[in-house]
Amino acid sequence: MAYNRYQDFKANPVWAMILINFLVFIATLINRGLIISAFGLQPAGFTAHPWTIITSMFVHGGFLHILFNMISFYFLGTYLCRIVGENKFLIVYFGGGILGGIFYILLAFPLSIAVGASGAIFALGGALAVMRPKIQVMVFPIPSPIPLWIAVIGGFIIFSFLSFIAWQAHLGGLVFGLVAGYFFKKRYFF
């Protein structure tokens, strides 16, 4: 009798968004200039292309960019989704991504273009850092586990010093996540 291993797999918003991100990445490989200019978030062009505050979360600039974002997204997203449910997870993800986009519009150079899910991912990390601050995580290349809140805040600080990183989007996402985490913790007694 054959045993079907696929029974354990459950489609959820995390896997759906990972799939969308990779499909958009493949399109970016085919025509990078078109995809980034049409779907990336540019402060100066936002009023003419308001959808980019959402679409920019699904566009990535390179293989390492999407790889690290999707690994972080998978671990943070699946854990948060289990804790608060799919609807609240989606609110944190998209709310953090949108607030990250707003921070980027307000604080970045007007002609720059932001792409990536990092603002939304920082929202997930911020929410978890408030709700489960003592959880230990492994962060490469640190050889031992560290508390999640240190990983999230430390990651934000480190990435803020890199010139090609949209720290403004990270900050907006992190702020949204911290507030959402506080709300969830207070309401549900985590």
**Per-10-residue mean pLDDT, the chain, length 190:** 48 91 96 95 96 97 94 95 95 98 96 96 96 88 88 88 88 97 81
**Which residues, 6 or more positions from 170, have their beta carbon under 8 angstroms from its beta carbon?**
100, 118, 119, 122, 156, 159, 160
Residue 3 within any structural domain of the chain: no
Residue 98 within any structural domain of the chain: yes
Q: What is the pLDDT of residue 11?
A: 58
Overall number of domains in the chain: 1
Strand, coil or helix: what is 113? Answer: coil
Residue 60 within any structural domain of the chain: yes
Residue 5 within any structural domain of the chain: no
Q: What is the pLDDT of residue 163?
A: 77
Buried b (16+ CB within 10 A) or exposed e, 132-142: beeeebebeee
Q: pTM (2 decimals)? A: 0.89
Read off φ and ψ for residue 166, nearest 5 degrees: -85, 75
The DSSP H or E segment spanning 147 is strand 146-147
Catalytic residue among 56, 60, 72, 170: 170
Q: What range defines the domain where residue 181 resides?
A: 11-188
Catalytic residue among 118, 144, 160, 163: 118
Residue 4 within any structural domain of the chain: no
Residue 2 within any structural domain of the chain: no
Counts of helices then strands in the chain (DSSP H, E):
8, 2
Q: What is the pLDDT of residue 137?
A: 85
Would residue 170 show up in a list of annotated catalytic residues for this protein? yes
Residue 19 within any structural domain of the chain: yes
Tokens of 117: 């899910």
Residue 153 within any structural domain of the chain: yes
Task: Indicate which CATH number applies to the domain containing 109.
Answer: 1.20.1540.10
Q: What is the pLDDT of residue 162?
A: 81
**Which residues, 6 or more positions from 131, have their beta carbon under 8 angstroms from its beta carbon?**
83, 181, 184, 185, 190
